Structure 1
């Protein structure tokens, strides 16, 4: 009786475990998520870290250059306004020196012939004094604003240098992570790739941190808003083959909802892509690379090559030597 009870408990636990585990795809199912290999888990983490920081530095750099251009335009406008005001103040100073300033004005008031003439001269003298004060105040403010703008430009240049240093370091980190990958890397680029609509950014141009909060249209999992945007832009551009995004485990950004696999074949993940399927994958990879800045692309993997914003195209191997891990049957996209 005790033995039968123990067997019942074990069976129940097995059933619960089975229910808690996502159902595996049937063998040979072309829509099953591709096994991208486990030999590059560390590589994926390094690429994620290096390229995330590189992209944020690039965004800060672009925003700083835009701010610098605005400041330089303001400076040019202030310099233009400053010229006639400086000349006007110089005239005021020269006139005050030649006429003896307040002594001459006092004399002019004393030598008036009537009370009415005296009041007229009072008004005139007051008007001239107010005008002179305004011109001198404008000159002082403009000079201070100009100095402030010059300092702000210097600050932006220093910020740009700092971001460039970060990018150089992260480029080295990305290249070091890819150094073990041997083989030829021609890269996949096309000037004819369509343009994608940009994903939202922060007010300062940097990329906002996003969580896995959107229902994944390809699985029962979730993806980030930026990943959904990239997938939708690809489909708008005509790349409508089968794709799959969220996975509860595995390499790259799939468990974070920041990665999708786009099949080269129209109906699923087959063998090594050839002919029209390979052309489709090549064009899709080129589309993501061309629109990397607009979509927040972290890296693209296709046909034994990986592209990162920090290091460009490099040779790639998933470690298992099969179409899925070598990405010869699908394009992998990771976003920030």
Structure 2
């Protein structure tokens, strides 16, 4: 090969290396197996759903308790009123139509007396009907109250089951031990929209991902925007295709690099690690507002109901999540 060709080839290699060095690296696929990720997703969603159901059951229980109290007072008053009617009839207080006719001095007097008697009879009948309706309503309200209490107990069992499912999956993967996490920060994110019952609406990969040109869910975009507003401005990548069982291809996950420029193939340290610590703590503080499914950072994973636990992703810094914070959104 001539000298000119050798120089040209060497320059091409240098230029390619320069371009690669200036571009942010891509994060490896989420650590762990597909079975692990599926189990963690199901456990986290189940916990959140049970938590919402408990809140709704408690709210309904409170409403029904007020209704029962009011109905009990109403029934009590109606029982007293109907009791007085019964006592009056027992003493012969009811006037027969014949007596009204005999005691009337004129047709007008008779009609007036008969009208009064009919009114009193209808009033007495209404009192008895109102009592029966009030008693029936009270009986139903008590049944509904019992059902609300039973729903709470059922969902509490579901919460416990989902916690156990998550811990079992983590332990099977070599993790799951409790950890100290990364400190606490106050919640400040604007809440993502919920359904009227407090649950999270189903969303797909339907809006443009500002980090890759792919797609993400509206709720993931909301979390991205709130994270930026909170001052976390290091390199981030959300949508990623071809990942088996992960949240990235579904548009429900973002990787936030600890380093400003991108994913470095080293464990974060110094200011980069502190940045990741603050970001992870901020996500946990705003988990209910942003519909956080789980957060992975520095060989630890946070899920609703389990807190921070050890996480063995395997592989280098990307798989162990020591160079980026992984966020999965419901």
The question of a shared fold, defined as TM-score above 0.5 by the shorter chain, is answered with yes
Partner residue of 1:41?
A: 34
Bigger CA drift: 35-44 or 58-67? 35-44
The CA RMSD measured in Å over matched residues stands at: 2.4
Instruction: Say if 2:283 is the partner of 1:291.
Output: no
Paired position in structure 2 for 1:263: 257
1:6 is matched with which residue? none
Q: Which residue pairs with 1:301 in the alignment?
A: 296
Q: 1:330 & 1:233 partners in 2: Cα distance?
A: 18
1:230 and 2:223 are equivalent in the alignment: yes
2:104: which partner in 1? 112
Q: Deviations over 1:33-59 (max 9, x none)?
A: 312465433321210122122222222
> Partners of 1:210 and 1:182 in 2: how far apart?
30
SS in 1 for 2:189: coil
Contact conserved, 1:194 with 1:237, CA < 8 A, in 2? no
C-alpha deviation, 1:219, in angstroms: 0.6
Check 1:123–1:31 CA distance in 2 against 1; reply closer, same or farther (3 A cut): farther
TM-score (norm 2): 0.85
Match runs of 1:21-36 below 5 Å: 27-29=20-22, 31-36=24-29
Alpha-carbon displacement from aligned partner over 1:275-315 (angstroms, at most 9, x marks no partner): 43333322221222122222221111112110111322101
2:144: which partner in 1? 152
| 2:307 alignment partner in structure 1 | 312
Query: Relative to structure 1, is the Cα distance of residues 80 and 55 closer, same or farther in structure 2, using a 3 angstrom cutoff?
Result: same
What are the residue-to-residue correspondences of 1:170-249 with 2, within 5 Å?
A: 170-179=162-171, 180-181=174-175, 185-190=179-184, 192-249=185-242
More displaced 10-residue stretch of structure 1: 86-95 or 142-151: 86-95
Q: CA shift at 1:325, angstroms?
A: 1.8
1:83 and 2:93 matched: no
Partner of 2:272: 277
Change (3 A) 1:82 1:287: farther
Once the two structures are TM-superposed, the CA of residue 318 in structure 1 deviates from its matched residue by: 1.7
The structural deviation recorded for 1:32 is: 2.8
Per the alignment, do residues 37 and 204 of structure 1 end up closer, same or farther by CA in structure 2, a change over 3 Å counting? closer
In the TM superposition, what is the alpha-carbon distance from 1:175 to its structure 2 partner? 0.2
Q: Which runs of 5+ in 1 are unaligned?
A: 1-24
Deviation at 1:72, TM superposition (A): 1.6
User: For 1:152-191, what per-residue CA distance to the aligned partner results, in whole angstroms no more than 9, with x for missing partners?
Assistant: 122222222222222222211100111121766112341x
Cα 1:246–1:117 shift into 2, 3 Å: same
CA distance in 1, matches of 2:123, 2:22: 86
SS of the aligned residue for 1:99 comes to coil
Aligned partners of 1:59 and 1:207 also within 8 Å: no
Structure 2 equivalent of residue 323 of structure 1: 317
1:163 aligns with 2:155: yes
Secondary structure, counterpart of 2:228 in structure 1:
helix
Is structure 2 residue 70 aligned with structure 1 residue 69?
no
Unaligned 5+ segments in structure 2 are 1-17
CA distance 1:89–1:239, change in 2 (3 Å): farther
Bigger CA drift: 210-219 or 192-201?
192-201
